[in-house]
Homo-oligomer: A and B are copies of this chain.
Amino acid sequence: MSDEVNQQPKLWTGNHYNEGIGRDDIFDKLREECGVFGVFGVRDAATLGYYGLHTLQHRGEESSGICAVDSVEGTFNYHRGMGLVKEVFDQKTLESLPGDRVIGHVRYSTAGESKLANAQPLIFKYRDGDLAIATNGNIVNAPSIRRELESQGSIFQTTSDTEVIAHLIARSSKDFVNAAKDALQRIIGGFAFLIMTNEKLIVASDAHGLRPLVMGRLDGGYVFASETCALETVGAEYERDVQPGEMLVLDRDGLKLDRFEKLERRATCAMEYIYFARPDSDINGINLHSARKRMGQTLALEAFVDADVVTGVPDSSISAAIGYAEQTGIPYELGLIKNKYTGRTFIQPSQELREKGVKMKLSAVRKVVEGKRVVMIDDSIVRGTTSLRIVNLLREAGATEVHVRITSPPFMNPCYYGIDTPDRKELIASQKTVEEIRQAINADSIYFLSHDGFIDSVGGNDGEYNRGMCLACFDNDYPTPVDPTSEKSCSC
């Protein structure tokens, strides 16, 4: 018994995801589920939220939302909608969200689950007033908590597991902060939380710091974001990453540090380093452009191949391709180019047109690759369908050889912490040998960055952080108990 929510405004229901065209293009890429942004104690907080969320847009393109607390009255005002930040908000809407405190959210979801009702921040009314929650990540034990709550008579408004947090808080007899602390202790998973009431803001990261979350300072107030690039955009000064198991409480009396869980080993999602986060962001002090460039350099050391041209699959593998080129001396070229205008309303070419040569959003540059041996750098291979398509694009444009180099180990295990991954049996690396993958994607050679090579590349010279990653998608070593029968990989 499920619930199909269809609250989208009539005007843009006609989106093309429903038509099944371009499906595997869309699905053969891992998707970050969400980005969060919060402001406490800075004037025009909603406008800062607009710029912050816009900067985090790559973490979720499907819906956007901001909830603001009016500084004078303490009342909530919010706006959520389907679409990009720039589409959901206009000047007038921002003006309707006065105050110096906001939490905001951008969300990705697959087409069928794209629902305005699930758009965050989620808003609740309970005994003590209003409650708004924005989250990035997934609560592994949400289904069982939800069943328990429902059996006690709780009503849910969304399919989002985030809602269990609100119920746990509302049903507690403790004050808000302690109720929230209890709730955070009960849930297991990978998550970054912003929880706001009429008076307080709680910022929390799961016990392993699986999802990134950083704190900055601006004009005497505080800014929180999934990535440092959003701090930079609003002019905030980076202060530090929120620590695993930490719970920050902000109210009229300022910031109070607390934790709901003692610090265990850090296990930040490896795919954030490889693919999700913007290259100009830093995670745990490591800049991602630099880390990716080192991955390319390490790849070059581990798997050099004689070639004429190095090219990266845009946009995520440009840094690594530059590193590979620098290390090998093979020229880096724009062998693949992406149309930057392609977006939600773009009509994907039909199968017939694609077979006739109409290109999807990526083109190979004939003059650059024609007659050349090409090293093609990519960040990961999920199902293999996109890789096959890109290799073929290069061959059709005249590449004589295509050598695929991947900046991560083989992706073999699903994520339970907020990454939208297909079933294990659809993950090509869990089903085929490396040689079989090479054949499947029509490459002349293929190489996946080694486990150690990857860790070294991320960590640079500093050993501390290396041990700080969740590598479960590569090595099946999940930092928390997981439920392998669960289909859900995201709470938001």
Which residues of A pack against B, CB within 8 Å?
1-7, 9-11, 13-14, 16, 44, 47-48, 50-51, 54-55, 57-58, 73-81, 84-94, 96-97, 116-117, 123-127, 129-131, 150-159, 166-167, 170-172, 198, 218-219, 229, 232-236, 278-280, 282, 287, 289-290, 293, 315, 318-319, 322, 326, 331-334, 337, 339-343, 345-347, 349, 353, 356-359, 363, 365-368
Contacts and interface: CB of A to CB of B under 8 A. Distances in A.
B55 A7 contact: no
B13 A92 contact: yes
Contact of A154 (B50, B85, B92, B155): B155
B14 A90 contact: yes
A113 to B, nearest CB: 14
A124 B84 contact: no
B7 A80 contact: yes
B287 A368 contact: yes
Contact of A334 (B16, B319, B347): B319
Given A126-B150, A234-B359, 15 more contacts: A1-B75, A3-B125, A4-B76, A55-B339, A125-B158, A126-B153, A153-B171, A155-B166, A155-B167, A235-B356, A235-B359, A280-B334, A280-B365, A280-B366, A282-B367
A143 to B, nearest CB: 13
Nearest to A147: B127
Contact of A10 (B77, B90, B235): B90
Contact of A3 (B10, B14, B76, B333): B76
26 contacts: A1-B74, A1-B198, A4-B77, A6-B79, A7-B80, A9-B10, A9-B11, A14-B91, A48-B358, A51-B349, A51-B353, A54-B341, A85-B341, A86-B347, A125-B155, A126-B155, A155-B155, A229-B337, A234-B359, A279-B365, A280-B366, A282-B367, A287-B366, A289-B334, A289-B367, A293-B333
Contact of A125 (B16, B156, B315): B156
B6 A77 contact: yes
Nearest to A116: B7
A292 to B, nearest CB: 9
A10 B280 contact: no
Contacts of A9: 9-11, 81
Contact of A6 (B96, B127, B131, B156): B96
Contacts of A2: 75
Contacts of A86: 341-343, 345-347
A143 B280 CA distance: 50
Contacts of A58: 341
Contact of A358 (B97, B229, B233, B280): B233
A159 B125 contact: yes
